[in-house]
Structure 1
Amino acid sequence: MIALKIIQVGNSAGVVLPKEALIELGVKKGDTLYLTKAPDGSMRVAPHDERVARQIEAFEEVGRQYRDTLRILAK
């Protein structure tokens, strides 16, 4: 486990990832990371994956186009 400290970054807060974490994630300064909530309630950090980003974008578009239909089906 790697402990991270929350620091002030302008009007926001941020964390500094140690070199070991960057290597493990396969990312470098300037790359995009995603923070997601897992089914068990924990949070996970993952590097940007263009394939996944396209899938999410497609899902969101379908949600916008068929919002009313999806609402009815959810009942």
Structure 2
Amino acid sequence: MAALKLEAFGTCTGIAIPEEMLVQTGVGRGDTLFVVETPNGYLLSPRNPETDHQVELGGAFMKKYQETLKRLAQ
């Protein structure tokens, strides 16, 4: 666990994320982080939860219609 301090960046307020955290999570300067509200607070994630949901729906659709999609691909 790490404590991150809110800092002034020009006219904005932000946090400085240590390099080791950026490397471990695979994000860097210029990347977008999504804020997801959870029952335990907020979660910062590099993955868009809406995109993840759409991918899950697509997977369920392909599984349901697997045979039809195979025939259409021929």
TM-score range, shorter chain: 0.5 to 0.7
Paired amino acid for 1:35: V
Aligned to 1:47: 46
Aligned to 1:10: 10
Paired amino acid for 2:8: Q
Equivalent-residue separation in structure 1 for 2:53 and 2:10 (angstroms) = 31
Aligned to 1:24: 24
Deviation, structure 1 residue 38: 0.5
Superposition misfits of 4+ residues, deviation over 6 angstroms: none
Point out where structure 2 has 5 or more consecutive residues left out of the alignment.
55-74
Q: Percent same amino acid at aligned positions?
A: 33
RMSD: 2.4
- After superposition, give the CA deviation of every residue in 1:16-72 in whole Å (9 maximum; x if it has no partner): 0001210222111111111221123x11111144972794xxxxxxxxxxxxxxxxx
Equivalent-residue separation in structure 2 for 1:38 and 1:50 (angstroms) = 12
Q: Is the 8 A contact 2:32 2:46 kept in 1?
A: yes
Larger Rg: 2
Paired amino acid for 1:23: V
Equivalent-residue separation in structure 2 for 1:50 and 1:39 (angstroms) = 15
Point out where structure 1 has 5 or more consecutive residues left out of the alignment.
56-75
